[in-house]
Chains A and B, each alone.
Chain A
Amino acid sequence: MTDTHPVLELRNVNKSFGPIDVLHDISLKVKAGEVLCLLGDNGAGKSTLIKTLAGVHKPTTGEIWMDGGRVSFDRPKDAADRGIATVHQFGGTFPLMTIGRSFFVGVEPTKGWGPFKIFDRKKANAVAVKAVQSFGITRIDDGDRLIGGLSGGERQSLAIARAVHFGARVLILDEPTAALGVKQASHVLRIVLEAKKRGIAVIFITHQVTHAMAVGDHFAVLIRGALAANFMRGEKSREEITDLMAGGEALADLDAYMESHDGHAPDLVS
């Protein structure tokens, strides 16, 4: 990459909801063509972090930078306009709309003139089907199908294909594989890799180490809203990562204990 600046960077971001501090001093970078896996226990603040990136929340303090310039998002639309796309857990949020229609929600292709512009269904369907097929999901071939009739993996794939089609540069996926079976999840992981190959920065939240190991280049672990670890692929073993994800809380407790007990670990009780 000739681009030396990270696509997206957080500098000392804090976020609190009234008296509740959720994020503490987070600094993170993600480059183009890189998959950043955001790991952490339930309630660690992962969703809050990505909502801050997506313009849903504003950081209480701290800065967000894109391509070496400071940015500020007042609403999700601002982040979207800068190419930050979020795909939610269940992908298609409009279960009763057709593939073609939901693909183009808000940016419908039209034909005709003046007040008589009509929604170009054929074109919408064709573009949507082509976009998702280019990600290797060839089973989707009819843009008139309803989103609700697709499998979870297909929905995720469609949502990702949609984001990429509309020029996403940063793709945020909040637990895309959580509700999926093994085969469906592997579809989604393949699509994550395909997005990465296209030079998109991917931020991927997951609770499953296998999924993180399969696609991640860069890992960040959140524990109670603080960045507990931030490392590249290969710098830590699978065991260490598993430990960080599952036992991160326990480790933090351990540190706290040792600090207040002159560096002694607690006795093991079995």
Chain B
Amino acid sequence: MNSLSFGSLARRPEAGSIVSLLLVVAFFVIFGGVQIDRFLGAASWVNLAANLGIVALPVGLLMIAGELDISIGAMIPAGSMSVAIVSGYYGLPIELGIAVALGLGVIVGLINGLLTIKTSVPSLIITLGSLVAMQGLVLAGSVLLTGSAGVALKAPEWAKFLFGHFFGGSYQVLILWWLALTAIYVFFIHFSRFGNWIFAMGGDKDSARNAGIPTDRMTILLFVLSSTSASFVGMCGAILFNSAQVSGGMNYIFNTIVSVVVGGVLLTGGFGSIVGIFFGAITFAVVTQGIYFTDIDRNWSSLIIGVMLLLAVLMNNSFRQFALNYAPRKKK
């Protein structure tokens, strides 16, 4: 079995995202006059890809499992505000602030997950509810507690070292988290049996349950993972920039979904890969940040993203067809 042939690569879910990344880079180099070495070494797109990627991975898993979580848009400011209020405004130990930020993510994830399994309401609607509710809670809560919508935070050295400092000039430490998390996800999704469960859930939840997969527990776990990842990213942002604002985070909803879809996850669930989502986030970051390195007006980046998204959806469909029709032909 020649598992590295072009054919077998093209059938993999991540093929589309790698192709689109190469196309975007080629486009920037050819038409935008980008100096490729300066561009590759730039921190801006890597930082964005890391922030986005950490959230996009669990959101993508939810989509593979046939669910969606848009409440992450509120969980990013929720994570940053809670650590800032607890450890900045009240001056309590940073450990407590971190615990509150992550704990909030766990609680919201539990609520999203429980509502999804207990009701037949689509998770898009459920998480729309928790998105709006959390937004209100964060804004009203911070005004009530601190009297303002922005809070400063002075984190101790060790916390900054772990969660919020720049290395090699302007690379966020979050990049290392992103790489490590990606490796962990790759292991669990593509090498352990849990990944099989998630793909089966996205294929047909009832059959998966009948096959003995704890679908309810898995669904809750994935929601907890996504909202906790979002509050983690928010928390790291607050520690890095020494302050937190209630606004922001909303564009993460669209950006993660774009990354996931460009990364080859089927909107209908049951198909996708961690490597694909990883490259999806990179592609998104390269388009939106890379455009600053080109002679192209940056306002065009939205157009590029839109076209890319549409192409990705079409391509995902044909990749899926491609993968389904694959029958090995014995040529020898």
A-contacting 9-mer, from B47-55, B113-121, B203-211: B203-211
Question: What separation, in Å, do the CA atoms of A95 and B268 have in the docked complex?
Answer: 12
Question: What separation, in Å, do the CA atoms of A33 and B230 have in the docked complex?
Answer: 56
Q: Are B191 and A119 in contact (CB under 8 A)?
A: yes
A-contacting 9-mer, from B159-167, B220-228, B276-284, B320-328: B320-328
* A60 in the interface (beta carbon within 8 A): no
Contact-residue bracket for chain A: 20 to 34
Question: What separation, in Å, do the CA atoms of A76 and B1 have in the docked complex?
Answer: 38
Q: Are B192 and A97 in contact (CB under 8 A)?
A: no
- Of B207, B210, B323, B325, which contacts A77 at CB under 8 A? B210
* A94 in the interface (beta carbon within 8 A): yes
- Of A76, A93, A105, which contacts B196 at CB under 8 A? A105
- Of B1, B193, B207, B212, which contacts A93 at CB under 8 A? B207
Contacts of A142 in B (CB 8 A): 327-328
* B10 in the interface (beta carbon within 8 A): no
Contacts of B210 in A (CB 8 A): 76-77, 80
0/1 interface trace, chain B 302-332, chain A, CB 8 Å (1 if under): 0000000000000000001001111110000
* A52 in the interface (beta carbon within 8 A): no
Contacts of B325 in A (CB 8 A): 149
Q: Are A93 and B204 in contact (CB under 8 A)?
A: yes
- Of B204, B212, B323, which contacts A107 at CB under 8 A? B212
Question: What separation, in Å, do the CA atoms of A144 and B207 have in the docked complex?
Answer: 21
* A148 in the interface (beta carbon within 8 A): yes
Task: Determine how close the nearest CB of chain A comes to the CB of B194; give it in whole angstroms.
Answer: 9
Q: Are B326 and A145 in contact (CB under 8 A)?
A: yes
Contacts of B178 in A (CB 8 A): none
- 27 CB contacts below 8 A, A to B, read A88-B207, A93-B203, A93-B207, A94-B199, A94-B270, A95-B270, A95-B324, A96-B266, A96-B270, A96-B271, A97-B203, A101-B199, A105-B196, A105-B197, A105-B200, A106-B197, A106-B212, A118-B187, A118-B191, A119-B193, A141-B328, A142-B327, A142-B328, A144-B1, A148-B323, A149-B324, A149-B325
Q: Are A95 and B193 in contact (CB under 8 A)?
A: no
Interface residue ranges of A37-94 to B (CB < 8 Å): 76-77, 80, 88, 93-94
Most buried by B among A97, A106, A148: A106
Contact-residue bracket for chain B: 20 to 34
Contacts of A106 in B (CB 8 A): 197, 200, 208, 211-213
* B290 in the interface (beta carbon within 8 A): no
Most buried by B among A102, A105, A110: A105
* A249 in the interface (beta carbon within 8 A): no
* B97 in the interface (beta carbon within 8 A): no
Question: What separation, in Å, do the CA atoms of A145 and B271 have in the docked complex?
Answer: 14
Question: What separation, in Å, do the CA atoms of A142 and B3 have in the docked complex?
Answer: 12
* A261 in the interface (beta carbon within 8 A): no
Interface residue ranges of A104-124 to B (CB < 8 Å): 104-108, 110, 116-119
Question: What separation, in Å, do the CA atoms of A22 and B35 have in the docked complex?
Answer: 73
0/1 interface trace, chain B 247-271, chain A, CB 8 Å (1 if under): 0000000000000000000100011
Task: Determine how close the nearest CB of chain B comes to the CB of A106; give it in whole angstroms.
Answer: 4
Q: Closest chain B residue to A55 by CB distance?
A: B210
Q: What 7 A-B pairs have minimum CB-CB distances, sorted nearest first?
A: A94-B203, A106-B211, A108-B193, A106-B212, A148-B324, A93-B207, A93-B204
* Known A106-B208, A145-B327; contact A96-B203, beta-carbon cutoff 8 A: yes
Q: Are A105 and B195 in contact (CB under 8 A)?
A: no
Contacts of A148 in B (CB 8 A): 323-324
Q: Are B208 and A105 in contact (CB under 8 A)?
A: yes
Task: Determine how close the nearest CB of chain B comes to the CB of A97; give it in whole angstroms.
Answer: 6
Q: Closest chain A residue to B202 by CB distance?
A: A96
* A146 in the interface (beta carbon within 8 A): yes
Contacts of A93 in B (CB 8 A): 203-204, 207
Contacts of A94 in B (CB 8 A): 199-200, 203-204, 207, 270
Question: What separation, in Å, do the CA atoms of A21 and B202 have in the docked complex?
Answer: 34
Q: Closest chain B residue to A121 by CB distance?
A: B191
Contacts of B199 in A (CB 8 A): 94, 96-97, 101
Task: Determine how close the nearest CB of chain B comes to the CB of A128; give it in whole angstroms.
Answer: 13
Contacts of B213 in A (CB 8 A): 105-106
Known A96-B270, A106-B213, A117-B192; 4 more pairs at CB < 8 Å: A77-B210, A96-B320, A101-B196, A104-B196
Contacts of A77 in B (CB 8 A): 210, 212
- Of B211, B266, B320, which contacts A105 at CB under 8 A? B211
Question: What separation, in Å, do the CA atoms of A107 and B213 have in the docked complex?
Answer: 9
Question: What separation, in Å, do the CA atoms of A119 and B197 have in the docked complex?
Answer: 11
Q: Are A80 and B328 in contact (CB under 8 A)?
A: no
Contacts of B196 in A (CB 8 A): 97, 101, 104-105, 108, 119
Contacts of B211 in A (CB 8 A): 105-107
Contacts of B271 in A (CB 8 A): 96
Q: Closest chain B residue to A110 by CB distance?
A: B193
Question: What separation, in Å, do the CA atoms of A145 and B211 have in the docked complex?
Answer: 21
Question: What separation, in Å, do the CA atoms of A47 and B267 have in the docked complex?
Answer: 31
Q: Are B192 and A119 in contact (CB under 8 A)?
A: yes
Contacts of A108 in B (CB 8 A): 193, 196
